[in-house]
Structure 1
Amino acid sequence: MREFGYQRATDVPGAVALLDADPAARFLGGGTNLVDLMKTGVERPARLVDVRELPLDGIEPTPEGGLRIGATATNSDLAAHPAVRRRYPVLAQAVLAGASGQLRNMATVGGNLLQRTRCGYFTDPTRPCNKRDPGSGCPAIEGEHHNHAILGASEHCVAVHPSDMGVALTALDAVVTYETADGPGALPLGDLYLPVGDTPHRETALPPGALITGVTLPPAPAAARSRYRKVRERASYAFAIGSVAAALDVRDGTVREVRLALGAVASHPWRARAAERALTGAPADATAFAAAADTELAAATPLPGNAYKVTLLRNLVVAVLTELAVEAAR
């Protein structure tokens, strides 16, 4: 690991000013991703600006009836919060599925959203990778890619975003707030991540030097009946090979509202808009759920080693929505 400077920020304006004065610096929250990448030489910041002690760890209701989550709230505190568990259970379930207890105790909400989209080629500095070294190529396409993207990828990168929390927040229409030297700003989570295109090293639409200050969840009555389901290759904590975040509102056997997002399928959490449109007003049954999943996954372009994900995600969507529909009928 190369030498780096370290400074602890005491307030939001001071943190933003420190990064504005040193573009080679990085914000440090829990460090569960950044520090690992520094150890391997993938990330080489000249300075770390520690934002963990900033007063951004609150979780509180908004005047509109939603929920405001501070960027430095830990994943453990988020998953355990009574309002999250009661009103947005899909979010609590996703966070608990995301990592070990030790990691959840350290990881922050803002840091989770900004963890790097990555694969084994990205984390190995001896191998080419367009995300790490633009123009060097994407060896995953011809190499190991069993857990890579089936949606929204390009010939330049097929890595998937690893966040479980981000999948649930995408389904909930979360809005990310941030602060820069020019003032505050906000981005819908669906607009936070940039398409891969030919610039996979550019991952987010945040302005340079932006500090995420929180995430706001709008009121979502349908979210009270919601679920996160994750499939992984071992029982202990691991990245998903496929996941679904879903919320379902059924009236008289018909889908009144549905929210659906997929994980481990793209470079960012994938909002299944085509499936949602197909389901709204449709019967709340397995046949409709399967047809909607097929509509969404028709755009999939799997590689030879990850074509199984199409079937896996289809089955996950049907299973989770069927469970929610059965609960609604009780």
Structure 2
Amino acid sequence: MKTFDYRTAAGLTDGLEPGAVFLAGGTNLVDLMKLGVATPDALVDVNRLPLNGITERPDGGLVIGATVRNSDLAADPRVRAGFPVLSQALLAGASGQLRNLATTGGNLLQRTRCRYFMDASGPCNKRAPGSGCPARDGDHRNLAILGGSPACVATHPSDMAVALAALAALGAVVQVDGPGGTRGIPVTDLHRLPGATPERDTVLEHGELITAVEVPALPYAVRSGYRKARDRASYAFAVGSVAAALDVADGVVRDVRLAFGAVAPKPWRAWTAEEQLRGRPATRETFLAAADAELASAEPLRDNTYKIDLLRNLTAAVLARLSEEAR
């Protein structure tokens, strides 16, 4: 591991010098440093900043501090009752030990687990821009079918981010603080598609720190859920996942929020599928047709075509369960 400096952040205005990065739980960053993928000159520890609380908004929504641990967020009674999709997504990720350390902000900023990105000895446009993307012709079974580019087909690994994408109605935002001041970034705009610059995962500028995630009240979020498909029963990243919140009355979909995970370089908000579902009967046939509409733009590679059927069935299963609960 490269030698680095370490210091504790004194306050939110304590900026980052070139080559420095923020450290919270470190569950992803430290692994990347051990592999030689991340080589910061300095770590700035933010754990002592006052960012570890969960407060309730007047509208019933929540403001989640950036250093709130995943275990604490998943167990919070307000999250479990009002936003079960978020609690379920968190509990589906990693192990109990990792959830005890991982943070809200860090979860959003974790980097892809594409094997070529994780191997510092070989080419990867995300790690070494311009070096190529060997995944396209190599091992891409678990990589993107939506939103990729000739430069990169890596997938975003977070479960929590998929749930937040599904809840990103009425102005859910990521609050950040940095050299240019504070700003709010819509949850669905935080992550970038790779295009020709896959080395940039998010729209954050150097020195900007996530301070909180604001989740406004969504009345039918109480009827929400998350389902994750993976190669083994636990402690594995998704090969496909679906987060949904559903409002059904008299067997008809009044409103819906839907997001896919592990199929794109960012959490994939299924806008087309949502539009197809509103005002339609809450049936398996309708759910499958909506998934088909969303996946019509998919560009699978040689070995990940299976993700199309996987996402269709996951979507139908999650929505059918939520529809049944509405009865």
So what's the TM-score if we normalise by structure 1? 0.97
d(CA) in 1 for partners of 2:126, 2:112: 9
Deviations 1:276-299 (A, max 9, x none): 000001111111111101000101
d(CA) in 1 for partners of 2:141, 2:150: 16
Alignment counterpart, residue 176 of structure 2, candidates 178, 195, 217: 178
Report the alpha carbon displacement of residue 65 of structure 1 after superposing the two structures with TM.
2.3
Between the two proteins, the alignment pairs up a number of residues equal to 324
Does 1:6 pair with 2:16? no
d(CA) in 2 for partners of 1:11, 1:44: 24
Q: 1:255 corresponds to which letter in structure 2? A: V
d(CA) in 1 for partners of 2:212, 2:182: 11
So what's the TM-score if we normalise by structure 2? 0.98
d(CA) in 2 for partners of 1:60, 1:156: 41
Q: 2:182 corresponds to which letter in structure 1? A: P
What secondary structure, in the 3-state scheme, does the structure 2 residue paired with 1:315 have? helix
d(CA) in 1 for partners of 2:237, 2:256: 25
d(CA) in 2 for partners of 1:327, 1:224: 11
Report the alpha carbon displacement of residue 139 of structure 1 after superposing the two structures with TM.
0.4
Partner of 2:271 in structure 1? 273
Q: What is the RMSD of the two structures over their aligned residues, measured on CA atoms?
A: 0.8
Partner of 1:253 in structure 2? 251
Alignment counterpart, residue 93 of structure 1, candidates 78, 85, 88: 88
Deviations 1:124-168 (A, max 9, x none): 011110001111100010000100000000111011000000000
Report the alpha carbon displacement of residue 13 of structure 1 after superposing the two structures with TM.
1.9
Deviations 1:249-284 (A, max 9, x none): 101111011010000000010000000000001111
Partner of 1:34 in structure 2? 29
Task: List alignment gaps of at least 5 residues for structure 2.
Answer: none
Partner of 1:313 in structure 2? 311
Partner of 1:219 in structure 2? 217
When structure 1 is superposed on structure 2, of 298-307 and 174-183 the one drifting more is 174-183
Partner of 1:230 in structure 2? 228
Report the alpha carbon displacement of residue 189 of structure 1 after superposing the two structures with TM.
1.1
Q: How many percent of aligned residue pairs carry the same amino acid?
A: 62
Runs (4 or more) in structure 1 with deviation over 2 Å come to none
Alignment counterpart, residue 147 of structure 1, candidates 130, 142, 161: 142
Task: List alignment gaps of at least 5 residues for structure 1.
Answer: none
Report the alpha carbon displacement of residue 71 of structure 1 after superposing the two structures with TM.
0.1
d(CA) in 1 for partners of 2:180, 2:129: 29
Partner of 2:72 in structure 1? 77
d(CA) in 1 for partners of 2:64, 2:76: 10
Report the alpha carbon displacement of residue 64 of structure 1 after superposing the two structures with TM.
2.8
